[in-house]
């Protein structure tokens, strides 16, 4: 979540008149940033995670686990504590930061400063995450606990699921039948975002997740708990038109998706070119990591037949009008838009020769005037497409006080559109007036129950990102296949039941490249330490994960022109990760080969292996994903009636168990290695 501006938010009818203003100035701001930073080079690898939590308040007598709505007090307390810690130490870098999130029951934490590529930093991430959780735990009430579970199982059930209880009948921003107004962060930005998405769309959002049909689930399943009459806004046309599908779990508000917790990792790149390459390479990785981290099988008191949050969030912020969704001919709106603004990436952005335009095979409308303006300013057509595609969206929240901005010194209008394009990977230009460089944010992963797991998946992704750059891996797939992988990744037990499109040959022409050489496009002043020994010129190993990798030159006879369809195949995730015969060594093997190129102490290797081992054991199935573990916990609970219902009692016991696992007082050997 970006900066929270303070001010008076405009309702949609007023805000929409400023949409072009925000877009025009947003592009001016981007171009100003571009002019200042396009040649910036040599930034070292800096990276950091974002972890989201929900806070649960336990009613131990009534055996109910409810969402605590004390975010404002909790954040005020944590901010005061961390400020004190920072002033005691005389520096703020080592003191974590806590941020508000959409749900009034949520928190987000980030490290006090980003990690570098040093092994010691990488190996400190679990401690850093644990430190943040300890802080959060310490300053909560005795009956409150912060959780890193992706979805709260009973969000939106009839009865008491928040502390304090609020009646959903007057949910004025969302018009939800299930979630009270008070579920949302009270900062003006969030209720306005909720209401303006609904107003722009012309109806409530509507999400139907397939129900997990168990042996005693009533069929056809027509949800008896939907309180059609309860809401004073029940004239809502969408609801009247049968928004809730049979055999599905129906959800009707932004809070169902934006109330989920995830794990994100951001990397700083050497320069804009490397950021664009890394972005593209991570696009096909996003669905794979989603399947591996799947953690959210329970929704609104039911077991779903999916394991992930992605489609819920995508649907819950879908502000497209009926015209834009293709349900009516275009009249008021300018574009048919195939995807929600929360969705998988639709366009690759690198100008590398390996990026074939055929890979961009899904419809990705763009604003022609913005595209022309960007091109006229010297931005290449590929990046101009990306930005002008993001800018087909309207700004949803506009504060009256910040309509006029100094475009040299602000990026607010740019960020207004950029940061409400919630895609699997985000390309982040340097902020104005800061030392931060070009960054790429990896956004698909579900948050894991323990910091050990969150550290493991973060470390795996950072190592994979270096292997990709060091070996010049080419992971390009047509975007339509990446989208298909996203759909498959969310299915129940996708890790073991699905196959995923993957590139047959990931190496550059001439085979794997060596990771020793150095980027020639940067002046050595900015780049990290030299690749060759200054004494004898021999390649020198480094103990640091780094940026600034050399590019693969285009082969003299041009790029190979195989039909795109011959470039990929369908593989199991096990084959993708562990390799497939001799043809493809697998992502783990590439990560290990990369590690071999570093001069790592044995002790560090052992420590790293502990994290990689978790990811391997999740992949090979000797450990369950969180989604599978949670689903099985519910289904084997003595109070479960095989009817797909997650009762208050089951939810309570599940949350107690998840907390015990997190604290290490309960072993779950089928889920986590023992002795963690």
Rule CB under 5 A: choose which of 148, 231, 264, 423 binds Mg ion. 264
Q: Is 2 in the site for ligand ADP (CB under 6 A)?
A: yes
Among candidates 546, 488, 492, which has minimal Cα distance to 516?
Answer: 546
Q: What backbone phi and psi angles, to 5 degrees, belong to 160?
A: -95, 110
Name the residue whose CB lies closest to ligand ADP. Answer: 48
Give residue 592's region: left, alpha or beta (phi > 0; psi -120 to 50): alpha
483 binds, among ligand ADP, Mg ion, none (CB under 5 to 8 A by kind): none
Minimum CB distance to Mg ion, residue 95 (Å): 16
Kindly tell me which of 50 and 412 has the beta carbon lying closer to ligand ADP: 50
- Residue ranges in 322-381 that form contacts with ligand ADP under rule CB under 6 A: none
Minimum CB distance to ligand ADP, residue 566 (Å): 37
Contact 263, 53 (CB under 8 A): no
Q: Give Cβ neighbours of residue 242 (< 8 Å, ≥ 6 apart).
A: none
Kindly tell me which of 217 and 465 has the beta carbon lying closer to ligand ADP: 465
Binding-residue total with ligand ADP (CB under 6 A): 18
Rounded Cα distance, 10 and 399, in Å:
6
Rule CB under 6 A: choose which of 70, 99, 248, 413 binds ligand ADP. 99
Helical segments of 598-647, H only: 602-620, 626-635
Q: Which stretch binds ligand ADP (CB under 6 A): 40-48, 214-222, 236-244, 245-253?
A: 40-48
- Residue ranges in 449-468 that form contacts with ligand ADP under rule CB under 6 A: none
- Residue ranges in 153-212 that form contacts with ligand ADP under rule CB under 6 A: none
Q: Is 50 in the site for Mg ion (CB under 5 A)?
A: yes
Q: Is 108 in the site for Mg ion (CB under 5 A)?
A: yes
- CA-CA-CA-CA dihedral for 13, 18, 23, 28, to nearest 10: -160
Q: Which stretch binds ligand ADP (CB under 6 A): 19-27, 265-273, 463-471, 585-593?
A: 265-273
Structure tokens at 167: 């009646």
Structure tokens at 491: 């299915």
Q: Is 47 in the site for ligand ADP (CB under 6 A)?
A: yes
Kindly tell me which of 1 and 676 has the beta carbon lying closer to Mg ion: 1
46 binds, among Mg ion, ligand ADP, none (CB under 5 to 8 A by kind): ligand ADP
Q: Is 114 in the site for ligand ADP (CB under 6 A)?
A: yes
Q: Give Cβ neighbours of residue 14 (< 8 Å, ≥ 6 apart).
A: none
| Integer-rounded Cα radius of gyration of the chain | 24
Kindly tell me which of 98 and 399 has the beta carbon lying closer to Mg ion: 98
Q: What is the DSSP string of 41-66?
A: --PPP-EEEEEEEEEEEEETTTTEEE
Rounded Cα distance, 242 and 206, in Å:
10
Q: Is 132 in the site for ligand ADP (CB under 6 A)?
A: no
Rule CB under 6 A: choose which of 28, 32, 176, 266 binds ligand ADP. 266
Rounded Cα distance, 443 and 290, in Å:
9
Minimum CB distance to Mg ion, residue 654 (Å): 24
Give residue 472's region: left, alpha or beta (phi > 0; psi -120 to 50): left
Within 10 A of 218 (CB to CB), how many other CB atoms are there? 11
Kindly tell me which of 427 and 476 has the beta carbon lying closer to Mg ion: 427
Structure tokens at 661: 């696992």
Q: Which stretch binds ligand ADP (CB under 6 A): 42-50, 224-232, 350-358, 367-375?
A: 42-50
Q: Is 46 in the site for ligand ADP (CB under 6 A)?
A: yes
Q: Is 111 in the site for ligand ADP (CB under 6 A)?
A: yes
Minimum CB distance to ligand ADP, residue 3 (Å): 8
Rounded Cα distance, 541 and 539, in Å:
7
Rounded Cα distance, 97 and 109, in Å:
6
Contact 476, 359 (CB under 8 A): yes
Q: Is 439 in the site for ligand ADP (CB under 6 A)?
A: yes
- In eight-state DSSP terms, residue 519 is -
Among candidates 232, 124, 238, 88, which has minimal Cα distance to 171?
Answer: 232
Q: Which stretch binds ligand ADP (CB under 6 A): 108-116, 290-298, 402-410, 635-643?
A: 108-116
Rounded Cα distance, 657 and 663, in Å:
10
487 binds, among ligand ADP, Mg ion, none (CB under 5 to 8 A by kind): none
Kindly tell me which of 48 and 315 has the beta carbon lying closer to ligand ADP: 48
Kindly tell me which of 48 and 550 has the beta carbon lying closer to ligand ADP: 48
- Contact residues for ligand ADP, defined by CB under 6 A: 1-2, 46-50, 99, 110-111, 114, 266-268, 436-437, 439, 441
- Contact residues for Mg ion, defined by CB under 5 A: 1, 50, 108, 264
């Amino acid at each position: 979540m970006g900066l929270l501006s303070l001010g008076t938010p405009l309702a949609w009818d007023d805000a929409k008149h400023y949409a072009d203003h925000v877009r025009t100035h947003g592009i001016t701001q981007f171009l100003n940033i571009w002019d200042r930073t396009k040649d910036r080079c040599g930034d070292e690898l800096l990276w950091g995670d974002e972890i989201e939590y929900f806070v649960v308040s336990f009613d131990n007598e009534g055996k109910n686990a409810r969402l605590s709505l004390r975010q404002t007090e909790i954040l005020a307390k944590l901010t005061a504590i961390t400020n004190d810690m920072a002033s005691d130490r005389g520096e703020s870098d080592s003191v974590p930061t806590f941020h508000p999130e959409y749900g009034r029951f949520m928190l987000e934490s980030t490290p006090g400063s980003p990690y570098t590529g040093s092994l010691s930093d990488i190996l400190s991430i679990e401690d850093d995450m644990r430190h943040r959780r300890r802080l959060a735990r310490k300053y909560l009430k005795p009956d409150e606990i912060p959780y890193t579970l992706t979805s709260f199982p009973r969000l939106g059930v009839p009865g008491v699921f928040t502390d304090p209880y609020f009646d959903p009948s007057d949910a004025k921003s969302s018009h939800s039948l299930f979630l009270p107004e008070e579920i949302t962060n009270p900062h003006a930005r969030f209720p306005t975002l909720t209401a303006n998405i609904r107003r722009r769309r012309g109806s409530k959002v509507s999400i139907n997740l397939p129900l997990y049909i168990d042996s005693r689930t009533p069929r056809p399943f027509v949800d008896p708990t939907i309180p059609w009459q309860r809401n004073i806004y029940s004239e809502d046309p969408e609801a009247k038109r049968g928004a809730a599908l049979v055999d599905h779990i129906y959800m009707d508000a932004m809070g169902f998706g934006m109330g989920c917790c995830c794990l994100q990792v951001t990397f700083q790149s050497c320069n804009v070119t490397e950021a664009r390459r890394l972005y593209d390479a991570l696009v096909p990785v996003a669905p794979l990591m989603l399947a591996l981290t799947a953690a959210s099988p329970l929704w609104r008191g039911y077991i779903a037949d999916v394991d992930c949050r992605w489609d819920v969030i995508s649907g819950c912020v879908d502000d497209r009008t009926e015209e834009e969704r293709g349900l009516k001919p275009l009249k008021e709106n300018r574009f048919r838009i195939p995807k929600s603004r929360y969705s998988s990436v639709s366009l690759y952005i690198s100008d590398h020769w390996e990026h074939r335009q055929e890979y961009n095979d899904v419809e990705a409308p763009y604003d022609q005037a913005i595209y022309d303006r960007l091109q006229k300013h010297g931005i290449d057509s590929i990046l101009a497409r990306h930005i002008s595609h993001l800018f087909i969206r309207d700004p949803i929240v506009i504060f009256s006080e910040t309509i006029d901005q100094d475009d040299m010194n602000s990026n607010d209008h740019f960020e207004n559109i950029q940061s409400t394009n919630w895609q699997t990977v985000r390309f982040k230009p340097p902020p104005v007036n800061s030392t931060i460089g070009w960054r790429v944010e990896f956004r698909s992963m579900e948050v894991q129950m323990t910091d050990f797991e969150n550290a493991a998946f973060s470390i795996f992704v950072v190592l994979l990102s270096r292997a990709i750059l060091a070996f010049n891996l080419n992971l390009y797939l047509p975007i339509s296949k990446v989208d298909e992988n996203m759909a498959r990744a969310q299915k129940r037990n996708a890790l073991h039941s699905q196959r995923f499109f993957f590139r047959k040959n990931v190496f550059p022409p001439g085979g794997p490249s060596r990771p020793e050489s150095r980027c020639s496009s940067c002046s050595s002043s900015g780049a990290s330490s030299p690749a060759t020994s200054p004494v004898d010129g021999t390649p020198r190993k480094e103990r640091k994960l780094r940026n600034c990798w050399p590019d693969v030159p285009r082969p003299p006879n041009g790029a190979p022109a195989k039909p795109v369809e011959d470039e990929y195949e369908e593989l199991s995730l096990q084959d993708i990760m562990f390799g497939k015969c001799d043809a493809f060594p697998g992502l783990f093997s590439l990560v290990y080969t990369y590690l071999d190129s570093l001069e790592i102490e044995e002790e560090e290797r052992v420590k790293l292996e502990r994290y990689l081992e978790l990811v391997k054991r999740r992949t090979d199935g000797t450990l369950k994903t969180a989604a599978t573990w949670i689903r099985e916990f519910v289904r084997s609970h003595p109070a479960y009636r095989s009817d797909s219902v997650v009762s208050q009692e089951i939810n309570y016991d599940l949350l107690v168990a998840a907390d015990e696992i997190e604290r290490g007082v309960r072993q779950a050997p089928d889920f986590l290695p023992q002795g963690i």
